[in-house]
Amino acid sequence: MVRPVATNIRALTLALAVAFLVASVGVAYWTMFASESLAQDPFNPRLIAASRDRPRGQIVDRNNAVLADSVPTPDGFKRTYKDRTLAQVTGYASFQFGLSGVEAAYADSLIGQDAADPASAWRARYLRERVPPGAVVLGIDEKVQKAAADALGGRRGAIVALDPRTGVILASVSVPTYDANEIVDATKQQTAWDQVTKAQDKPLVNRATSGLYPPGSTFKVVTGAAALESGFDPNQKLRVDDPYQADKSWGTYFVRSASHAHGDFSMPDGFRLSENIYFAQVGLRIGAAKLADYAKRFGVGGAPACDLAAAKGQLASEGSIDRPTLLADTSYGQGELLVSPLQMALIYATIANGGVMPTPHYATSVRDNQGHVIREIAPGPIGQVIRPDTARALTAMLVGAVEGPGAFAFGAKIPNVHVAGKTGTAENVPGSAPHGWFIGFAPAEQPTVVVAVIVENTPEGGVTAAPLGAAVMRAALNK
């Protein structure tokens, strides 16, 4: 006897009812449980749409100078941006192209939904009311920012300055830049967007946080720190004869000295004269594991925990330093290393800060529309990376690298202030000029500012970058 059709109909109906239940659970997930994370997505047009019929909060610097504002127009509120040198930092809030920079990172606060204000968060969530937005305050210091922008001028590159004690970013310049006003302008937006997205030199990228470069000699502090903490004696002299290879197995591969040096070098000499062969030998002595360990402690190969998006660097393309020539090259900052200027600034901030790495951040507080601070942004330090005595020893050698006889980084000197710092001349694509680095901090005894400078493709390398660093530090120190 064949089963009656009615029985099959009942079974099918039951199966369909279960399927409808599953579908509604799925819908419940997206509408209620995933809604928080979806709402925060910088490409969710709802974040920006909220500011069309009501103003979006201001972005201001530490002196309350307005960097981004919403002005009423007949078609609703329009966003205006005041400082072109901060274009990649403040970002844009485009109805068409989404959010970037502070506009993205603090999108909730800028539409009056900061999580630190539970009442407004509750009202926004359940009553769909938004309080008038307040402001996001950045740690940017107008005069340091101007000094950095002037110092770099039209040269491609980046400068980032921060306070090593707190991680507050004081200045952040990335060249070339773009005009965010055009990105949010209804009539110009498409042309402007096509132009900036197709440009070879990528003006939308914040080179300070997301430009990745080989660090060159500025990386030698990492090798130095690893050696000092492994019990290596900095005063031990190592023989340098240009060109150098550890043994015949290197074949035609040599490490070259920038000054074609022949002589005996201690670690202070190595820093002062930026001797690649000295640091290559130090690296080979302490070994790949030790060097990689310290590089990782300093955050190399990771992305800095910054409030704005920051790029992830690279220690070695395969993830590990797997051969002696790569170890030698990595030890003086070439090899396959890639770092952002912010990452290097943090490494030097760690040395300036007694071995404790601060957490970098652009914003320092969020205010409500009455001007009351809703939330202080003061993330604690990332942690103790090296010992205080290691930091002191490195600082002394970095002062020598600026002020010592014949020092490469002499251009970073400031009258009456001791400056610690290091230049770098980073080889990149064969055939193009090297990138010039300077990273330093001052005053060496009680550092209050760290600056990282990179000038792309400059024949003079680090020599070009050092005076730019000095100009920024002088502005920060009022000297």
Partner 1 sequence: MRSRGAAPRAALHVGAVRGGSSGGGAPRTAGGGVPRRRTAELGLLVWVALLALAGFAAVVGAETSAFGPAVIVVPAIYLGLVLALHVFLVLRRFRGDQLLFPLAAALTAIGLVLVQRLASDLLLQQLSWALIAGGAFVATILIPRDLTTLARFKWTWAFLGLVLLVAPLLPGIGREINGAKIWVKIGPGSIEPWEAVKLLLVIFFAGYLEEYREVLAQAPRRIGRFPVPPIPYLLPIIAMWGMAMVVMVFEKDLGATLLFFGIFLAMLYLATGEAFYTLIGLALLLGGGFVAYHAFPHVAARVDIWIRPFADELRFGAGYQLVQGLFALGNGGLIGAGLGNGLPERIPVVWSDFVFDAFAEETGFLGAAALLAVYLLFVYRGMLIALRAPTTFLQLLAAGLSFIVALQTLVIVGGNARLIPLTGITLPFVAYGGSSLVTNWMLVALLMRVSDASARIRGT
Residue numbers at the binding site for partner 1 (CB under 8 A): 2-13, 16-17, 19-20, 22-24, 26-32, 34-35, 37-39, 41, 43-46, 49, 125-126, 128
Give me the least distance between CB of 129 and partner 1, in Å please.
Answer: 12
> Which distant-in-sequence residues (6+ apart) come within 8 Å of 143 by Cβ?
475
Give me the least distance between CB of 43 and partner 1, in Å please.
Answer: 7
Give me the least distance between CB of 213 and partner 1, in Å please.
Answer: 22
Residue closer to partner 1, measured from CB, 210 or 390: 210
Residue closer to partner 1, measured from CB, 198 or 248: 198
Residue closer to partner 1, measured from CB, 39 or 463: 39
> Which distant-in-sequence residues (6+ apart) come within 8 Å of 121 by Cβ?
113, 114, 115
Residue closer to partner 1, measured from CB, 5 or 119: 5
> Which distant-in-sequence residues (6+ apart) come within 8 Å of 236 by Cβ?
266
Give me the least distance between CB of 124 and partner 1, in Å please.
Answer: 10
Residue closer to partner 1, measured from CB, 27 or 65: 27
Determine how many CB atoms are found less than 10 A away from the CB of residue 4. Answer: 9
Give me the least distance between CB of 6 and partner 1, in Å please.
Answer: 4
Give me the least distance between CB of 192 and partner 1, in Å please.
Answer: 18
Give me the least distance between CB of 48 and partner 1, in Å please.
Answer: 10
Q: Are 337 and 437 in contact (CB under 8 A)?
A: no
DSSP one-letter string for 162-223: E-TTT-BEEEEEEES---HHHHT-TTTHHHHHHHHHH-TT-TTS-HHHH--B--GGGGHHHH
From residue 107, alpha-carbon distances to 35, 194, 209, 335 in Å are 15, 24, 19, 39
Whole-angstrom Cα distance, residue 71 to residue 77? 5
Residue closer to partner 1, measured from CB, 53 or 247: 53
Does residue 421 sit in helix, strand or coil?
A: strand
Give me the least distance between CB of 21 and partner 1, in Å please.
Answer: 9
Residue closer to partner 1, measured from CB, 33 or 251: 33
Residue closer to partner 1, measured from CB, 225 or 308: 308
Residue closer to partner 1, measured from CB, 155 or 312: 312
Whole-angstrom Cα distance, residue 447 to residue 441? 6
Buried b (16+ CB within 10 A) or exposed e, 363-377: bbbbbbeeeeebbeb
Buried b (16+ CB within 10 A) or exposed e, 239-277: ebebebbeeeeeeeeebebbeebebebbbbbbbbbbbbb
Give me the least distance between CB of 212 and partner 1, in Å please.
Answer: 17
Residue closer to partner 1, measured from CB, 111 or 160: 111
Give me the least distance between CB of 127 and partner 1, in Å please.
Answer: 10
Whole-angstrom Cα distance, residue 408 to residue 424? 9
Q: What angle do CA 257, 263, 265 make, to 5 degrees?
A: 80
- φ/ψ (deg, to 5) at 89: -80, -55
Give me the least distance between CB of 91 and partner 1, in Å please.
Answer: 17
Residue closer to partner 1, measured from CB, 52 or 285: 52
> Which distant-in-sequence residues (6+ apart) come within 8 Å of 460 by Cβ?
436
Partners of 79 in the β-ladder: 70
In this structure, what DSSP letter does residue 467 have?
H
Tokens of 318: 């395969």
